[in-house]
A and B are shown apart, each in its own frame.
Chain A
Amino acid sequence: MLNEFLQLILSGIAIGCVYGLVALGFVLIYKATEVVNFAQGELMMFGAFIALTMGGLQFMPFWLSVVLAVLAMALIGGAVERAVIRPVLGQPIFSIVMITIGLGFFARGLASLIPGWGTLTHRLPTPYADQTVAFGELVLSAGHLMIILVTIVLCVLLFAFFRYTRMGVAMQAISQNQLAAHYMGIPVARVNTLIWCISAAVAAIAGILLAPITFVHANMGLIGLKAFPAAVIGGFGSIPGAIVGGLIIGIVEALSGRYLPDGIKDVSAYVVLLAVLIIRPNGLFGEKLTKKV
């Protein structure tokens, strides 16, 4: 009984990590550019598909294909910013958000047109598929464990990047006061492109981590609809908040799927969202500071 509960918590944490990573992508872009990128889930889907295609080439080892897929997504993320987002900066935020929604539809359509991708569900072969790791009586699939480990490593890396590198601090500066960042000589437009690169790379990692669990298909990006509340719960602007929000939603989903009637699982993310917003309108980690233009 207790074991089952812990087991659920663990798999909830694993899925929550994926939500958290996608939410992280939302937050990174939002903090720097004030654009909510609703195509974040589709970036994730593309990352998984690219890894799938590269893995299908046979001649390269799995790890190399993953690294290449992540790098390719970083480039695609930057290119999308440069080609689609930068020309419309300065337009009302609402228009830009609509563009990202359109971008999401476009990406889904495009994925189903690409030969080998299509509308079918694919299995991403991983070396760790079907393996399990036992902690005493708890059994965790290697896929879940991998998600948790990679998320931890990625969070530590991102934290160190934002805290200690010149570029990371410059990104924080842009999110706090874009005008002053210009005055410091920070090339704001280029740094924003770089943020899209990072955000798309993180999304690709999330997609590849998720692939062994949900498989790869053109609609897997709809997970963004769960990641978005995760970002909001965390305060939409807080990086740790995004991960914590993801974890909360992941755990609540896992528990409600088991103990509550059918169907509740799918709305549980939004129930949690409402509850958090009623108690703490700024989210759990929300900054009270208002942004100056």
Chain B
Amino acid sequence: MTDTVLEIKNLEASYGSVQALRGVSLSIQEGTIATILGANGAGKTTILKCISGIVDPRKGSIHYLGRAIGGKRADLIVRMGIAHVPEGRQVFPLLSVRENLWLGAYTRTSRVEALEDLEAVYRYFPILKDREKQEAGKLSGGQQQMLAIGRAMMARPSVLLMDEPSLGLSPKLTEEIFTIIRRINRDWGTTILLVEQNASIALQTASHGYVLESGRIVMEGPCEKLFQDEGVQEFYLGQKEETGVERRRWKKTRKWA
């Protein structure tokens, strides 16, 4: 049996008067990859930002390994073992690749262990070692994404939050990045919460999925089941049924709406 590492209950958050989350509950099992699917503006990023302490939740609770972390300071949450790969990579453009990676280890106390992990990160992403001394801002988008992931790995997190790792990458690079995400999960046992617009690859990578719409979870389940689901197929995988013209309506309502 696996244990719940991250438990979110009735989470609500808003930006000013705009409510981004309207009562989201999810629970992530240790050592698994979970994914949150949803359109732009559904509130996916806000969930991750609430977990990592960037956005304060208005209501609801977030428990990490049984401890309440909702509204705690971001740096304390990193220290507890939750690292975040932010949307749009957010590398430090004028610092070298190596300095960026070291900053990922900012909360670590053992330099020796951090050095070992640096070598490990270089094994996952050999290109980063080649570019070690280069300014991060001069890397290509794919390399910056690798740097952002490597930087988060440097904290040796037990939970890794990933926000749109495929954003702006070619299909081939996306495939490459997701292979590595699976490897990190397998080799390090890191629990990963993945937010993605590319539903197809997210469902292939994760074991459990949630569908978020306008700040609410409208569906959840094992990824194989979500993959089969008609609504998910139509709205997130962009597939249409091939048969039964008479069944198609011009304006199809979603089952869950």
Contacts and interface: CB of A to CB of B under 8 A. Distances in A.
Contact of B73 (A183, A187, A289): A187
Contacts of A166: 102, 106
Contacts of B152: 183
A170 interface: yes
A176 interface: yes
A172 B78 contact: no
Contacts of B92: 172-173, 176-177, 180
Contacts of A183: 52, 54, 74, 78, 83-84, 86, 90, 152
Interface residues of B, number: 28
Contact of B102 (A169, A179, A187): A169
B75 A180 contact: no
Contacts of A179: 54, 86, 90
B139 interface: no
A177 B136 CA distance: 12
Interface string B58-87: 000000000000000111011100011010
Given A179-B54, A185-B75, A289-B137, A173 B83 contact: no
Nearest to A179: B90
Given A172-B94, A180-B90, A185 B99 contact: no
Contacts of A169: 95, 99, 102-103
B214 interface: no
Given A172-B95, A183-B74, A177 B106 contact: no
B93 A177 contact: yes
Nearest to A182: B74
Interface in B76-118: 77-79, 83-84, 86, 90-95, 99, 102-104, 106-107
Nearest to A163: B99
A184 B103 contact: yes
B78 A184 contact: yes
B75 A176 contact: no
B153 interface: no
A177 B75 contact: no
A185 B107 contact: yes
B85 to A, nearest CB: 8
B90 A177 contact: yes
B97 to A, nearest CB: 13
B86 A184 contact: no
B94 A185 contact: no
Given A182-B54, A183-B78, A185-B75, A170 B94 contact: no
Given A179-B54, A183-B52, A185-B79, A170 B106 contact: yes
Best-surrounded residue of A176, A184, A287 (most CB of chain B within 10 A)? A184
Contact of B106 (A176, A185, A289, A292): A185
A292 B90 contact: yes
A68 B91 CA distance: 39
A173 B91 CA distance: 9
B45 to A, nearest CB: 12
Given A170-B103, A179-B86, 7 more contacts: A179-B90, A182-B52, A183-B74, A183-B86, A184-B155, A185-B77, A292-B90
11 contacts: A169-B102, A173-B95, A176-B93, A176-B94, A179-B86, A182-B53, A182-B54, A183-B54, A183-B84, A289-B94, A292-B90
